[in-house]
Amino acid sequence: MKNKDFSLSRRRLLVGAAALGGGAFLGMHVQQAQAASFNLLNVSYDPTRELYAEVDKAFANTWHQAHQEDSVTVKTAHGGSGAQARSVLEGVPADVVTLGLAYDIDLLAQKGLIATDWQTRLPHNSTPYTSTIVFLVRKGNPKNVKDWPDLVRDGVQVITPNPKTSGGARWNYLAAWGWALHHNNGSEDAAKTYLKSLFKHVPVLDTGARGATNSFVQRHLGDVLLAWEDEALMAARDIGPDQFDIVVPSQTILAEPPVSLVDKNVKAHGTEDVAKAYLEFLFCPEGQKIGAKHYFRPVDPAVLAEYGQVFPKVETFDVASLGGWTKLQKGHFSNGGIFDSLYR
């Protein structure tokens, strides 16, 4: 992943607000001696394939308009969020990570690849888009699924990926866990009973969220898909408007998938400044509109209002209300944790 010509770290980069190509962006005014060619690798989670395919091209075009002598190529690799984090730990040379949950980036910070204050470096705790967990059902909702209790009725099969490998699966699991706690006056025993029953209705555990979507949409497995809202909206609006409906449960979780530089790698590659600009692009109006187009909820209130008709109103709780990622990962998803005991 070395750059061909020279490192941007040898330039003087001044960042200021500017308008470019009809979309506001952080204008880059660079003093440089020669042209540069940059290659960035974004290691991302499963359901962001279409999102980052468009983001990568838009950012490269925006950068080139500001620095016509430069070229930027961004490649994005996808998979289950937990598996992706482990791949970076094992040597995949990511310049940036855009993962499904903060714990996976914290793991990289604990191992020295990322600064421990990574979540303070960008707005909204370094989360450019949010999402939530909803139900995708067959057209007409033949099993009459309306809320979490319906998932454990006789004759209902539920598709969700493996929380050991998938960030989306952990959000699905915690959405169910949080609802069960709230519905049972905070009783963890009652929540465990509900989750154990729920996973008896899961016929297969795919490794990532996109695999689970494919099992439901293409392989026709199951009656209900627990899904990122963006995956559900894509299926219901773009893939099969005559095949699927979305059910919004009475309560669900606010999913906050964050982003970060991989500090150790960008310093080695000489890509720190261009990688920072790439992540900043996600928060600018153009980047926010691309997110909304692909059914991720923008954090910019103006852009969210512009796309308000796309996103249903939902009642949500957050991870902090359940104890935070460190506690949840250790208690539920580590080897021998609550998930292992329930799934056995």
DSSP 271-283: -HHHHHHHHHHHH
Domain residues for the domain of 89 are 38-127+257-307
Within a domain: residue 17? no
Are 164 and 205 found together in one domain? Answer: yes
Are 140 and 202 found together in one domain? Answer: yes
225: domain CATH number is 3.40.190.10
10 burial (CB, 10 Å; 0-12 / 13-18 / 19+) is exposed
Are 67 and 183 found together in one domain? Answer: no
Are 251 and 291 found together in one domain? Answer: no
Are 182 and 115 found together in one domain? Answer: no
State how far the alpha carbon of 117 is from the alpha carbons of 94, 102, 131, 198, in Å.
18, 12, 23, 37
Within a domain: residue 19? no
Are 281 and 171 found together in one domain? Answer: no
pLDDT in tens, the chain (344 residues): 444 333 333 332 333 333 333 344 444 434 444 678 999 999 999 899 999 999 999 999 999 999 888 899 999 999 989 899 999 999 999 999 999 999 999 999 999 999 999 999 999 999 999 999 999 999 999 999 999 999 999 999 999 999 998 899 999 999 999 999 999 999 999 999 999 999 999 999 999 888 999 999 999 999 999 999 999 999 999 988 899 999 999 999 999 999 999 999 999 999 999 999 999 999 999 999 999 999 999 999 999 999 999 998 999 999 999 999 999 999 999 999 999 999 87
pTM value is 0.87
